[in-house]
Amino acid sequence: MPQPYTGIFTLLLRRFMQQINKIYLLLKEPRRVVITTHQKPDGDAMGSSLGLFHFLKQFGHHVTVISPTNWADFLDWMPGSKEVLDYERQTPEANAVIDSADWIFCLDFNTLNRTRRMEERLGNANGKRILIDHHQEPQVDKFAYGISETTKSSTCEMVYDLIINSGNDDKINESVAECLYAGVMTDTGSFRFPITTAAVHRMVASLKDKGLQHSRVHEELFDNYLENRFRFIGNVLQNRLQVFYEYNTALIAVPQQDLVKYNIITGDTEGLVNYPLSIKGIKLAAIIIDRGEERKCSFRSKGGFDVNTFARKYFSGGGHFNAAGGQSKEPLEEVEAKFIQAMKENKDQLSNYQF
């Protein structure tokens, strides 16, 4: 039985996530390192994981990147992606690596349930979990060290900060630069979102100085889709888009039969939620996709409408102020109805758009 005071002390320690700079001096001692990120990783999740991977390997660490699920084909060009373990497909191998890790970096997510089936193994691991993330409301009691900054454009920017602040500027090679650029560019909507600070542009300038070929990254990410995806988008915009001008809102609801008909795979629906935001006056855009096992929702807003709170309140989700997501086990029609109801409840905020 633990002593009561020891118990309280341990609890206090557990609740206290130490600052990330505490690990800077430890970077030089080789360790077994796991890097992981959220399920269905996007450009920032995969870019920050592989950027950190290429950085840490230069110190002699034994580094493994594990994705909780599969990922979109348009991320496969990233240097190191062939070595990434897919937890769902390579569970025993990934479990062994998690169990023996000294450090487990958790990038671009801040609640362990964002790693789906990996959650339990990750939560019980003996290695120290280290958080690098820019989402709201982190589970700080789950991390030994970390940094959580919602003002950062991307996790890639935060990995870049770590590299610079730990005095390792010289370790930014072409692979590190390409991966970090991919994430900062995709998470900022190609540098258009308000979160794109001067520091982001300075980071990109410095990556260019290191030899980054940014056009190649854009081409790899955006110009590698198959024709079926465009036919699918055509169908979605024609048949699945509803616009509620009174509420400055647009909704796309995609039934599973569309995904089957057009042979849609992971990544093909990426970015689709942004399309309606180009319609004049639209301030909130939502997409609900029937993925079979669940209905996945994505929300994007312009200006002062907080979709993080919206996603938390109505769709068990979260994210950022202007970009968030959630999910539901209800049938598509009910999720759609729930969204419309939620939109109506927020009429005051939605109909008074201010930049």
Footprint on this chain of ligand 5GP (rule: CB under 6 A): 38, 42, 135, 298, 317-320, 323-327
* Residues of span 148-177 touching Mn ion by CB under 5 A: 155
Q: Which is closer to ligand 5GP, CB of 68 or CB of 317?
A: 317
**To the nearest whole angstrom, how small is the minimum distance from the Cβ of residue 113 to ligand 5GP?**
8
Place of tokens 């991390």: 143
**To the nearest whole angstrom, how small is the minimum distance from the Cβ of residue 248 to ligand 5GP?**
19
Amino acid making up residue 227: E
User: Which residues, including other chains, have CB under 8 Å from residue 207's CB and lie 6 or more apart?
Assistant: 172, 177, 180, 181
Closest CA to 51 of 84, 29, 92: 84
Q: Which is closer to ligand 5GP, CB of 114 or CB of 129?
A: 114
What the block records as the tokens of 129 is 């979990």
Q: Which is closer to ligand 5GP, CB of 298 or CB of 301?
A: 298
* Residues of span 25-44 touching Mn ion by CB under 5 A: 44
Q: Which is closer to Mn ion, CB of 157 or CB of 258?
A: 157
Q: Could you say whether residue 108 binds Mn ion (CB under 5 A)?
A: yes
**To the nearest whole angstrom, how small is the minimum distance from the Cβ of residue 313 to ligand 5GP?**
12
CA 340 to chain centre: 26
324 binds, among ligand 5GP, Mn ion, none (CB under 5 to 8 A by kind): ligand 5GP
# chain residues binding Mn ion, by CB under 5 A? 4
327 binds, among ligand 5GP, Mn ion, none (CB under 5 to 8 A by kind): ligand 5GP
Q: Which is closer to ligand 5GP, CB of 61 or CB of 296?
A: 296
**To the nearest whole angstrom, how small is the minimum distance from the Cβ of residue 27 to ligand 5GP?**
27
Residues 200, 204, 205, 207, Cα dihedral to 10°: 140
Is residue 203 within 8 A of residue 191, CB to CB? The reply is: no
**To the nearest whole angstrom, how small is the minimum distance from the Cβ of residue 48 to Mn ion?**
7
Dihedrals φ, ψ of 244, to 5°?
A: -110, 85
Q: Which is closer to ligand 5GP, CB of 27 or CB of 44?
A: 44
**To the nearest whole angstrom, how small is the minimum distance from the Cβ of residue 38 to ligand 5GP?**
6
**To the nearest whole angstrom, how small is the minimum distance from the Cβ of residue 327 to ligand 5GP?**
5
**To the nearest whole angstrom, how small is the minimum distance from the Cβ of residue 310 to ligand 5GP?**
11
Query: Mapping DSSP to helix (H, G, I), strand (E, B) and coil, where does residue 264 land?
Result: coil
Residues 141-171: b if buried by 16+ CB within 10 A, e if exposed:
ebbbbbbbeeebbbbbbbbbbbbeebebeeb
Q: What count of residues does the chain have? A: 355
Query: Mapping DSSP to helix (H, G, I), strand (E, B) and coil, where does residue 129 land?
Result: strand
* Residues of span 174-213 touching Mn ion by CB under 5 A: 187
Measure the CA–CA gap between 72 and 51, rounded to whole angstroms: 18
Task: Identify any residues that bridge with 35 across adjacent strands, giving them in sequence order.
Answer: 65, 105
127 binds, among ligand 5GP, Mn ion, none (CB under 5 to 8 A by kind): none
Measure the CA–CA gap between 247 and 347, rounded to whole angstroms: 6
Q: Which is closer to ligand 5GP, CB of 127 or CB of 326?
A: 326
Q: Is the dihedral of CA 204, 187, 225, 234 positive or negative?
A: negative
Q: Which is closer to Mn ion, CB of 46 or CB of 163?
A: 46
Sites of contact with Mn ion (CB under 5 A): 44, 108, 155, 187
